[in-house]
Amino acid sequence: MRTSLSPFGLVVTPEAGEDVCSLPPALLARWVGQHRLVVLRGFPVVGVEDLADCARAWGPLLRWDFGEVFDVTAVHAVPFHWDGPWAEQTPSYLFFHCPAAPVSGWEMTFCDTTRLLASLSVDELRRWDGVTITYHGGYADCVYSSRLVDVHPITGEPVLRYQEPHDPAAYPIPLLLEFTGVPDAAGLVAELRDRLYDPRFCVTHRWQSGDFLLVDNHALLHRRDPLPVATLPPLHRVHIL
C-alpha cells in the first residue's frame, strides 16, 4: 500500500511476502523521483551484512574509508546539510535502515529545496543564484566550495546546496562559511534559516523499528536534533551514487 506524506514523501508497505531487496530498481527510482523521500515500512529487517548488496541492486555505492555501510553513532545535533559534497562523486541517494528504533526521540528532518526555491520571488532567486560558499572544517575537516543554487544532476531542477554553519559555542567541530557574490552574508544566513525551517518545505521522519528510508540527496537537505546516549538506536546508512 502507498500513502503520500505532506508536504512531500511516500510511505510504502509490503504486499504479502515482499521484501525490500526484491523491489524493482526502476520502481524505486520513480517513487523517489516523484516524492523525494520514500519510507519503506513493515518489510522484513535486513542484516547489516546484506544491506550493501540490497542497495547495490539500485545503483553503484560510494565507498568510504570505513566501507559502504556507515553506522550512525553520533548523538550530537547536526544542522541542515547534504551528504558528500567533498566526495569524488556526491551520492544521489541516501539509504537508511533502522532495525530497532527507541521508544521516542529519534527523528530526522528533511527540507525539499526544490519547493523552497520555487517559493522565491524572481529578485530573491537572482540574488541567491550568484552566491558561492566555501566551507572550512566540519565533520569532514576539509575545504570545499559549492554554488548556493545548483542544478539537480538527474532532473535538471534548481536545488539548494547549503550546509548550515556550526556555532563554535554549540558544536565541538566548527564549520565556517566564506561567502562570495553577496554583500550581506549574515543577512543571507538568517534568510536561509527562516526558509529552511519553514514547515511548508519540511518533513520530519520519526523512526519506527524496521524502517528503510530512501532519500534524494540532491533535492533535499537533512538535519537532526541531539539524541540522549541512553536511547541510541542502531541506524545504518548507505550512499548510492
Cβ–Cβ < 8 Å for 61, 226: no
Residue with cell string 546484506: 50
Q: Looking at beta carbons, which pairs linking 72-77 to residues 24 or more positions away fall under 8 Å? A: 72/96, 72/235, 72/236, 72/237, 73/232, 75/226, 75/227, 75/228, 75/229, 75/232, 76/171, 76/172, 76/226, 77/170, 77/171, 77/223, 77/224, 77/225, 77/226
Q: Which stretch binds Fe ion (CB under 5 A): 60-68, 77-85, 104-112, 207-215?
A: 77-85
Cβ at position 49, least distance to Fe ion in Å = 23
In this complex, which beta carbon is closest to Fe ion, that of residue 83 or of residue 216?
Answer: 83
Cβ at position 139, least distance to Fe ion in Å = 9
Among 83, 150, 211, 216, binds Fe ion (CB under 5 A): 83
The answer to whether the Cα torsion of 11, 98, 18, 20 is positive or negative is positive
Q: Which stretch binds Fe ion (CB under 5 A): 80-88, 95-103, 121-129, 151-159?
A: 80-88
Question: Which residues ranging from 115 to 174 are in contact with Fe ion (CB under 5 A)?
Answer: none
In this complex, which beta carbon is closest to Fe ion, that of residue 182 or of residue 201?
Answer: 201
Q: Is there binding between residue 216 and Fe ion (CB under 5 A)?
A: no
Cβ–Cβ < 8 Å for 99, 213: no
Q: Which stretch binds Fe ion (CB under 5 A): 81-89, 98-106, 181-189, 201-209?
A: 81-89
In this complex, which beta carbon is closest to Fe ion, that of residue 12 or of residue 215?
Answer: 215
How many residues touch Fe ion (CB under 5 A)?
A: 1
Cβ at position 124, least distance to Fe ion in Å = 27
Cβ at position 53, least distance to Fe ion in Å = 22
Residues contributing to the site for Fe ion (CB under 5 A): 83
